[in-house]
Amino acid sequence: MQLLRWLPLIVTLLVAVGCTRSPEAVESGRSSDVPNQPVKRQEPDVRPVIVAFGDSLSEGLGVETGFSFPDQLQKKLDKNGYKYHVINLGVSGDTTTGGLGRLDYALSLKPVILILELGGNDGLRGVPVSSTKANLEKMIVASQQKGVSVLLAGMTLPPNYGPEYVREFESAYKDLAQKYKLRLIPFLMEDILAQLRAQPGLMQRDGIHPTAKGHAIIADTVFRYLQPLIAKS
């Protein structure tokens, strides 16, 4: 497949107004131009929570605020009548070990779905697959014990890591998805890989991270796999 020659390029991304206010107005906490105007209080967001829990791909490294795939997934959910609140807990460079340390906070947000997008940085660092798999399994079990559905985002590695290691790495996600009956995205970047040749603007100049357009494609991918887990209200 000709597109496979782009794989090393793609997977390296895993690494991985107001008015001037008088002193009197400031002291009273209201505008001198609009006296006695009631303060509007923001209503709490009571929509079910979806947490995007991952590394730089979830964080949206290198793109403007509002254009990461979790942000664009939120817009897609809104547009299609799905009333959910997506919270982005992506941390660039994070590993499955780091994810384990952050999981309690993620679960404290009481998500109904956790998009688990970790492991790529483990692979790029040559961490034993058994360790990465064990960490992912702990996060899956802890989430399911809290009644949280997990959407597992699979990863892959450049061919130079050796066919045996790459095969074992990819199989870890498949094995966990099968064992715990999870929805699995075989490779989060699968649709970018398929379109990269025709749309080179999907990647940033560094050749590592997706552009806003690339993140839009990832959002489409995630939405497709997420749909069976969500409901319109």
Total number of residues shown for the chain: 233
Query: How does DSSP assign 100-127, residue by residue?
Result: HHHHHHHHHT-EEEEEEE--HHHHHTT-
Round the CA-based radius of gyration of the chain to a whole number and report it.
21
Query: How does DSSP assign the chain, residue by residue?
Result: -GGGGGHHHHHGGG---PPP--HHHHHHTS-SSSTTPPPPPPPP--SPEEEEEESHHHHTTTS-TT-SHHHHHHHHHHHTT---EEEE---TT--HHHHHHHHHHHHHT-EEEEEEE--HHHHHTT--HHHHHHHHHHHHHHHHHTT-EEEEE-----GGG-HHHHHHHHHHHHHHHHHTT-EEES-TTHHHHHHTTT-GGGB-TTSSSB-HHHHHHHHHHHHHHHGGG----
Catalytic amino acids? 56, 206, 209
Residue among 87, 93, 180 at smallest CA distance from 133: 180
